Structure 1
């Protein structure tokens, strides 16, 4: 159980994290701060440098049993914060308007409780992963040879979900977050004087054809296994000039599916459409993939463990608003473990994630950490 002093210290710690955000892949100081906070808890081991700047604290009972992993994220966003709070970001253009500072703090709260009352069997792993926001972090952690030493049997995570009632958890068995991919398309032709466009090779008509053609590959609709959505997020042709007919074009398309295997199909379809149109208009084409997220699928057994824990401590939950179209790289931990994601509400009128005025609600720290602790006790007992 957390004391009032714990909550004061954890809240102050969360505010300090909030003041010093670091972007995906740059979380050196955040990882160092987390490592320093973990040491007084005397975990069996602290692993650092996992998949980049990832940190994992292992609380090993010394008795055979499953490994239960709880995940938080280290990274922040390239967004200028617009909050009138004493702990607002001190780093221009960067902020924790994603809730990750709160997620880290909930894990540290769990660490305090497990360190005081160890589990009876197995291991608890507190995983602070890097680079969630661009989809690369969980994959890098799981691919790291050191991760094999702490391979999870069960994995759980909580993400704050504005719009849900305070203390309500949205979760479900099966799909909870879609797979997604960012596909950058560069079309190359030849510039010309605007008075003689016939002397060049313009991508304008190709781009005009490609926008509806790509969107037709996925129109959205119900979030079932057949769900596919293509969203055009950025388009550019040439430079802002009245004297030059463009010689280059660029399209950013976000591909989204309910299943990982369908992501492979829609990417292939998108590339084929682009190549066909580029050839028709005499253009070269290059592709670049970024922000690639696997689908997050809640295992039915892990979902059952999570909901039983919430029943035991009277946390309300249901399937309101899930599954969701947004992506989350936690699903990668489910490739080798029974995993479940929960979405915790701060209140229906709360600022949305990734907005400049968002700030994590500190009153959620004891709720999230209590859910985690009950899951750990239900699976591993108390020594």
Structure 2
């Protein structure tokens, strides 16, 4: 276990953000070299890695996934392993998640699975929602496409080691959306000679947040950023933009919310003689847990003597693992990082080392449970 803690601390010291995780990937590659996996896939979806351990007999292919990337946020917690990279930190616990999958790799190296294959995936760019899509679109993914996929995420605010479960939607889907309005600049002494998007922008700021109230299920629209023209006092603005984040617990509800926002923006733009364009970033699919895998994960936690809690509502945040639930039966669960642990994405957060062993045991238990099934 000490080697996994040491690895976690090293990863914490040298964080890399989405799409830049080359040194992190190399450290993981070096860790796995003596474990002698049967197959290694490098630069999967960019900087991703996958290690395949083959069983003695034919069977199902299981995938266990973690994340490579850190956040562009300063690590404020003083420790011997504090981030050495300015304004970047593992403040979501991906360093701990990687250590857990490395621990599972050690177990598989000692005892190959009885049947089938186990794929250990280190996915890039989870924080931006780009990584899962890139991995799934990599032509080599077909060679490791799983029958079942699993992931976990540590959760501050819950008792240490407690397993947090949900049947169906575990975390919402979301998308970042930018509405760009283009008119015509003019001298500020003669604004009537131009087409200023100010009124359209004001109208959208007021009216767009009302759209989710029409949805049958949970839907949320959050205003993120607005911009109008430039700081030029002699010029009446000719361009403006509004950035929003849309969330929903159901993928269809999210898709419908996007279409309703587009329709409203087009109508407002037309009434103000403006052209309109839409841009999308940080798109996350809804994370949906397979009901048949629920019992298996629950049984594993009980066998380990771990506390279980059923979350009444899905989490409002999003997880890039959601895209895997569109590929195969998947399951994402949380496990408590301590009731007094700083929240994710806070500068003082640090993944608790004592969770590494629990995570390894959960994943190994899930693997053994599935292996025992006919």
TM-score exceeds 0.5 = yes
Q: TM-score, structure 2 length as denominator?
A: 0.95
Q: For residues 253-294 of structure 1, what are the alpha-carbon distances to aligned partners after superposition, in whole Å with 9 as ceiling and x for unaligned?
A: 111112222222221111111111111112221111111111
Corresponding position of 1:277: 268
1:231 counterpart (222, 245, 249) = 222
Q: For residues 330-357 of structure 1, what are the alpha-carbon distances to aligned partners after superposition, in whole Å with 9 as ceiling and x for unaligned?
A: 1221222221111111111211111111
Matched residue of 1:217: which SS?
A: helix
Q: For residues 167-188 of structure 1, what are the alpha-carbon distances to aligned partners after superposition, in whole Å with 9 as ceiling and x for unaligned?
A: 1111111000111111111111
C-alpha contact 2:40 2:49 (8 A) present in aligned 1: yes
Matches within 5 A, 1:298-309: 298-309=289-300
Corresponding position of 2:80: 86
Q: Do structure 1's residue 166 and structure 2's residue 160 form an aligned pair? A: yes
Matched residue of 2:115: which SS?
A: coil
How many Å separate the matches in 2 of 1:187 and 1:311? 55
Q: Do structure 1's residue 138 and structure 2's residue 132 form an aligned pair? A: yes
Matched residue of 2:208: which SS?
A: helix
Q: Do structure 1's residue 262 and structure 2's residue 256 form an aligned pair? A: no
Q: Do structure 1's residue 24 and structure 2's residue 12 form an aligned pair? A: no
How many Å separate the matches in 1 of 2:275 and 2:136? 37
C-alpha spacing 1:110/1:322, structure 2 compared with 1 (3 Å): farther
1:379 counterpart (349, 370, 374) = 370
Matched residue of 1:362: which SS?
A: coil
Corresponding position of 2:352: 361
Which 10-residue stretch deviates more, 208-217 or 294-303?
208-217
Corresponding position of 1:48: 42
How many Å separate the matches in 1 of 2:134 and 2:293? 23
Corresponding position of 2:122: 128
Q: Do structure 1's residue 61 and structure 2's residue 55 form an aligned pair? A: yes
C-alpha contact 1:121 1:381 (8 A) present in aligned 2: no
Matched residue of 1:71: which SS?
A: strand
Q: Do structure 1's residue 240 and structure 2's residue 231 form an aligned pair? A: yes
Matched residue of 1:122: which SS?
A: strand
Matches within 5 A, 1:4-15: 7-15=1-9
Matches within 5 A, 1:172-191: 172-191=166-185
Corresponding position of 2:326: 335
How many Å separate the matches in 2 of 1:248 and 1:89? 40
Q: For residues 279-324 of structure 1, what are the alpha-carbon distances to aligned partners after superposition, in whole Å with 9 as ceiling and x for unaligned?
A: 1112221111111111000001112111110011111111236411
C-alpha spacing 1:134/1:306, structure 2 compared with 1 (3 Å): same
Corresponding position of 2:205: 211
2:186 counterpart (163, 168, 192) = 192
Q: TM-score, structure 1 length as denominator?
A: 0.93
Instruction: Give, in angstroms, the shift of residue 204 of structure 1.
Output: 1.2
How many Å separate the matches in 2 of 1:192 and 1:209? 22
C-alpha contact 2:229 2:237 (8 A) present in aligned 1: yes
C-alpha contact 1:119 1:381 (8 A) present in aligned 2: no
C-alpha contact 1:120 1:381 (8 A) present in aligned 2: no
How many residues are treated as equivalent by the alignment? 373
